[in-house]
């Protein structure tokens, strides 16, 4: 069975480059959707975060069966009729990164240590969030504020929400997985206008309507395994940014005018800018999260509205953009093997003089164009530390296609069948003699290994 250290290193290696690739494709899709509602861009970034987890995990399950296996091929060109020919190696993408047991364990231990540190930070911030909630207390709610709260709940279709106040709150905040609470800063209660109250409550209840508090905890947990990657930091930042823009849009679509909402944001920012405002991190959701006040105001005052048809077309194109990176990420996934496991008969150096054998100088050898490696037989995956090779004799026709195959040295029915099935699909630039295409004979050595 693959060791836990090896699985962790496989996840780490693949997440380093796959995350960057996914974030780049999400950024392109987000730029394409810059004039559509922010909720769609938010979904793009959330999907990117999920893919940053799923693709490295997929690499573990697809590249780490109970027994790791490998296949390599070697061509021996025999020319039109000359059996003494030089061997020609064909290089394939193997996705194998050589790591000895020591380095594998060291990297896995370091990654585990940093992951535990990040989880500890997550728990620390979570307890700080609980402490902030406990510091809040009920207050005598003005009738105007109660009426605004009831209106927001009715329009947004959410259950009743508790209103509390706290001297530690840096801005209006939302808490709660099942029972939702909005905490208002004492300064906002004392100095804010009814328009400010409406803006604050409509934004916070938009978070509740979208279930952002529970979703944010999930995003933070997923981020714990990716935080070492700078592109993942950018990814989480975009999730927070588009979440706030989406709440602004929901509030201004249903409860308040964009101009009034923008005016209230500026006024609330002035009211809560005192030095005593809380700055320690927590997982509550506030009006001024993501620190993009200027961008939010510009979006509110100069919205870009597209027709429904253009919006749907852009969404369709944006959904296709991540397809190529996802395919690339799965096709070029990395795995880890020790250097001793990388040795195979195909990599054994030729004997002195073997590569110096002469061929007909008038004949141009066939050049490989498409030569995928055969698959390792599923029926043989349980064999451990297995190394074997089989040889095929093939003829490449004048059109560059394999026109005949014959087993010279057999390794077994399943091995032979997989090799023949794949080699028949190979394509070459045909051999040529005096400028004319000719048939050419080759031997294909296929090496199968498990570790």
Q: Which three-class secondary structure state does DSSP give residue 369? A: strand
* Main-chain phi, psi angles of 396, to 5 degrees: -95, 120
Cβ count within 10 A of residue 201? 26
308-320 helix and 4-32 helix, angle to the nearest 10 degrees? 150
Q: How high is the pLDDT of residue 168?
A: 81
**For residue 83, what pLDDT band results from cuts at 50, 70 and 90?**
very low
Q: How high is the pLDDT of residue 341?
A: 47
Inform me whether the pLDDT recorded for 352 exceeds 60: no
Q: How many CA atoms lie within 13 A of 205 on its CB side?
A: 26
Inform me whether the pLDDT recorded for 344 exceeds 90: no
What's the average model confidence in pLDDT over 390-411? 89
Q: pTM surpassing 0.75?
A: no
**For residue 310, what pLDDT band results from cuts at 50, 70 and 90?**
confident
Phi-psi label, residue 157: left if phi above 0, alpha if psi -120 to 50, beta otherwise = left
Q: Judge contact between 215 and 2, C-beta under 8 A.
A: no
* pLDDT tens, residue by residue, 195-234: 989 999 999 999 999 999 999 999 999 999 898 889 999 9
Triad 229, 116, 283: Cα angle to 5°: 75
Domain boundaries, the chain: 68-93+360-451, 124-302
Strand partners, 174: 182, 285
**In the chain, pLDDT over 70 holds for what percent of residues?**
78
Inform me whether the pLDDT recorded for 148 exceeds 80: yes
Q: Would you state the torsion angle of the CA atoms of residues 7, 1, 450, 379, taken in this order, to the nearest 10 degrees?
A: -120
* Helices marked H in 292-344: 293-301, 308-320, 323-331
Q: Which fold has domain 68-93+360-451?
A: TolA/TonB C-terminal domain (3.30.2420)
| Residue of higher predicted confidence among 34 and 277 | 34
């Amino acid at each position: 069975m693959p060791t836990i250290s090896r699985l962790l290193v496989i996840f780490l290696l693949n997440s380093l480059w796959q995350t960057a690739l996914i974030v780049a494709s999400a950024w392109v899709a987000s730029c394409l959707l810059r004039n559509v509602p922010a909720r769609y861009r938010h979904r793009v970034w959330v999907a990117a975060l999920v893919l940053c987890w799923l693709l490295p995990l997929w690499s573990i399950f697809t590249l780490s069966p109970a027994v790791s296996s490998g296949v390599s091929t070697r061509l021996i060109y025999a020319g039109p009729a000359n059996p003494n020919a030089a061997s020609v190696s064909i290089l394939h993408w193997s996705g194998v990164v050589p790591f000895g047991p020591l380095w594998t364990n060291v990297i896995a231990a370091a990654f585990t240590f940093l992951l535990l540190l990040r989880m500890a930070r997550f728990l620390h911030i979570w307890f700080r969030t609980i402490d902030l909630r406990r510091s809040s207390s009920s207050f005598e709610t003005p009738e105007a504020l109660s009426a605004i709260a009831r209106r927001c709940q009715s329009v947004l279709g959410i259950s009743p929400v508790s209103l509390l106040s706290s001297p530690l709150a840096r801005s209006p905040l939302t808490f709660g997985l099942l029972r939702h609470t909005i905490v208002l800063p004492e300064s906002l209660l004392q100095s804010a206008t009814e328009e400010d109250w409406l803006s604050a409550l409509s934004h916070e209840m938009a978070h509740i309507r979208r279930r952002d508090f529970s979703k944010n905890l999930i995003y933070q947990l997923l981020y714990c395994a990716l935080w070492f990657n700078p592109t993942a930091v950018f990814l989480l930042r975009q999730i927070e940014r588009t979440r706030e823009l989406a709440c602004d849009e929901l509030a201004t679509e249903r409860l308040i005018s964009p101009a009034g909402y923008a005016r209230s944001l500026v006024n609330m920012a002035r009211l809560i800018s005192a030095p005593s405002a809380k700055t320690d991190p927590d997982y509550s959701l506030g009006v001024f999260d993501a620190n993009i006040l200027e961008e939010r105001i510009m979006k509110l005052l100069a919205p870009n509205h597209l027709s429904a048809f253009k919006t749907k077309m852009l969404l369709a194109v944006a959904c296709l953009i991540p397809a190529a990176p996802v395919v690339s990420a799965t096709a070029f996934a990395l795995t880890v093997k020790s250097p001793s496991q990388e040795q195979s008969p195909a990599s054994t150096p030729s004997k002195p003089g073997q590569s110096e054998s002469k061929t007909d100088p008038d004949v141009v050898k066939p050049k490989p164009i498409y030569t995928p490696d055969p698959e390792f037989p599923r029926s043989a995956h349980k064999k451990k530390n297995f190394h074997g090779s089989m040889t095929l004799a093939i003829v490449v026709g004048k059109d560059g296609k394999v026109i005949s195959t014959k087993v010279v040295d057999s390794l077994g029915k399943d091995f032979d069948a997989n090799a023949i099935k794949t080699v028949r699909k190979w394509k070459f630039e045909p051999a040529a003699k005096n400028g004319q295409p000719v048939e050419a004979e080759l031997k294909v050595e296929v090496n199968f290994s498990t570790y």
